[in-house]
Structure 1
Amino acid sequence: MKKPDFKKIKGKSISLDDIDDRTLILNLYLTQMITLVIGVVILLFEQPNLSAMFSLHLGWEILWWGAGFAALVIVVDLIISRFVPEDFTDDGGMNNRLFKKRPLWHIIVICFIVSICEELLFRGAIGGLIGPYWTSILFALIHVRYLQHWLMTGLVFSISYGLGTIYEMTGTLWVPILAHFIIDLIMGCIIKFGKEDS
């Protein structure tokens, strides 16, 4: 029997331009579904107190914590985009493709789904196992499109660490979910309604 020659197998690099809009959106929803399933499976093994995790004991403070953290992140991001050259923050056009031509209702749906799925997995499930620091390293690593740029990788790590910290401080997952939602929604709207590329 002839052994396969693995050296002859070559991977094909796919550019974002090679992916049509429908495939991009399907890929987004598929990855979020996988994220949600992994988070639920981990939580089934951890068996945390779900009523405490999703507690509304803070009332309106949830809004203040979530919106306050989101506002801080947005201000920092706007300062970075004002003073740092674009090639330091380039994500290969992914965010532009996701948000620029999308209707506002769809941007809201995307941001809602992403914030629920990612926060359940990273802050709720993984964060409970390994803490906010290591969770944030993992969170930064899965945002592959930023890994070429140390500034964006550092920013994603810092945001993740902040989300983990406010979750630990408040004791409710609704705070990082709300913060994540607001951050993504405002960034998506800035891309959608911002000036056209020249």
Structure 2
Amino acid sequence: MKKKTQGEILNQMSDREVSLQLILTQLIILSLSLIGSVFLFDDLLEGWASQLHPDVGEIFYFGVLPGLLVLFIDLFLLYRLPRRMYDDGGVNIKVFRNRSALSIIGLTMIVAISEEMLFRGVLHAEFGYFIASILFAVMHLRYLTKIVLFISVLFVSFFIGFMYELTGNLLVTITAHFIIDVVLAFWIRLGKWGE
């Protein structure tokens, strides 16, 4: 029996089922970050509090501006490269194409918070820049066979990790991650992806 491709599996799932899978994945990632912090941080509350600096200037310069730079590069490449090079198997389109604006904002915020808590807040803080950045890229399994997408997520991972390296501020990385995801999600929602 022939193994189904990711696209074939996605076509059999409703938008709701795909969204539920994404939310479940994010809850698992969030749980891993909380469990990891219990075992790895000397002081749980201090471990998290020391990474959350509500410094507006720092968030703007190391979160907002880098997020916008990544978006500019992504959108430039999206319109310069053949569409197949940016095709993730239809996952992002399935998740965001028919979603309300409020739902897009909420979902991309959940993704940014949970992933940054695990990869920067726990893994980067405890094991370093390189390991956390590589693991973040590898976690995006569907990109491993798409060289442009994999290089893109690897670049984003190291770039956001570098912003964390400079600031030690999880709010910076959450902001950058959220900006990238929410704008690309709205780009998909508006039907601009791949045009």
1-structure distance, mates of 2:152, 2:129: 15
In structure 2, the partner of 1:53 is 51
Q: For residue 141 of structure 2, what is the amino acid of its counterpart?
A: V
Deviations 1:32-66 (A, max 9, x none): 0000000111111121632211122x333212321
Unaligned runs of 5+ in 1: 1-9
Q: For residue 112 of structure 2, what is the amino acid of its counterpart?
A: S
What is the aligned counterpart of 2:18 among 12, 18, 24?
Answer: 24
CA change 1:36–1:45 in 2 (3 A) is same
* RMSD of aligned residue pairs (Cα, Å): 1.9
In structure 2, the partner of 1:170 is 167
Q: Normalised by the size of structure 1, how large is the TM-score?
A: 0.88
1-structure distance, mates of 2:184, 2:118: 22
What is the aligned counterpart of 1:120 among 92, 100, 117?
Answer: 117
In structure 2, the partner of 1:87 is 84
Percent of aligned positions with the same letter in both sequences?
36
Q: For residue 68 of structure 1, what is the amino acid of its counterpart?
A: L
Does the 8 Å CA contact 2:83/2:194 hold for their aligned counterparts? Answer: no
Pair 1:42 & 2:36 matched: yes
In structure 1, the partner of 2:145 is 148
Deviations 1:82-121 (A, max 9, x none): 2111111110111111111101000000011000000000
Q: For residue 115 of structure 2, what is the amino acid of its counterpart?
A: E
For structure 1, which segment, 23-32 or 11-20, has the greater mean C-alpha deviation from structure 2 after superposition?
Answer: 11-20
What is the aligned counterpart of 2:75 among 70, 75, 78?
Answer: 78
Does the 8 Å CA contact 2:105/2:182 hold for their aligned counterparts? Answer: yes
2-structure distance, mates of 1:40, 1:100: 31
Unaligned runs of 5+ in 2: none
In structure 1, the partner of 2:131 is 134
Deviations 1:108-144 (A, max 9, x none): 0001100000000001111123222222221111111
